[in-house]
Amino acid sequence: MDSAIAYEKNAKDFMQARSNCGYKVVRQWADSLESGAEVLEVACGSGFPVSKELVESGLKLWAIDSSKTLTNEFAKNFPDVQVKCERFQDSDFFNKTYNAVIAIGLIFLLTENEQGQLLSKVSEVLEPGGKFLFTAPTEIGNWRDLNTGITCTSLGQEKYQELLANSRLKIISTFVDEGKNNYYETERLA
């Protein structure tokens, strides 16, 4: 089962289980952007806690998620934010440019090929100097997603650095939140 189908099937359980873990990292990152910066959030879920922090930081947000249940809930929670139920591969939100992109809890749900596609697409929509924040383990490995039971894949920090460099993105800092989740903050090179 792919992650889009799995998250739709388990959307209500995911919303109930979603914690506020990592909101401080997201708030710090959001506050580093200019007020009114245009941000694309990939895999927005129902909007908590990530989208809430982005909106409260004064950012102009576009959001996508592959789960209809989650995007419907997102639209109720954030009626002023444009949200679409789409996979990143097919989203027309990738037809414009942004000051920043964020993808929390997504990349490791994708195949290795899809992970490279996502990084490439993010690079294409980021303005030079634009920021991209995503989560992924630093070590190489596979595990079962607690929300869906699907297999997750981490390519490891070295491989992520290689894929990022191939997509004209460079890591400018890393963070670890209270739940021991790893965040990569990257910047789009000119």
Q: How far apart, in Å, are the Cα atoms of 24 and each of 29, 100, 118, 177?
A: 9, 18, 25, 8
- Residue span of the structural domain in which 157 resides: 3-188
Report the domain count for the chain: 1
Q: DSSP character for 112?
A: H
What are the start-end ranges of the E strands in the chain?
38-42, 60-65, 82-85, 98-103, 126-135, 140-144, 151-155, 169-176, 182-188
pLDDT for res 19 = 66
pLDDT for res 8 = 82
pTM for the model stands at 0.95
pLDDT for res 15 = 67
Residue 156, both tokens: 């490891």
pLDDT for res 27 = 96
Please report, for the domain that includes residue 153, its CATH number.
Answer: 3.40.50.150
Segments in the chain below pLDDT 70: 1, 14-15, 17-19
Length, in residues, of the chain: 190
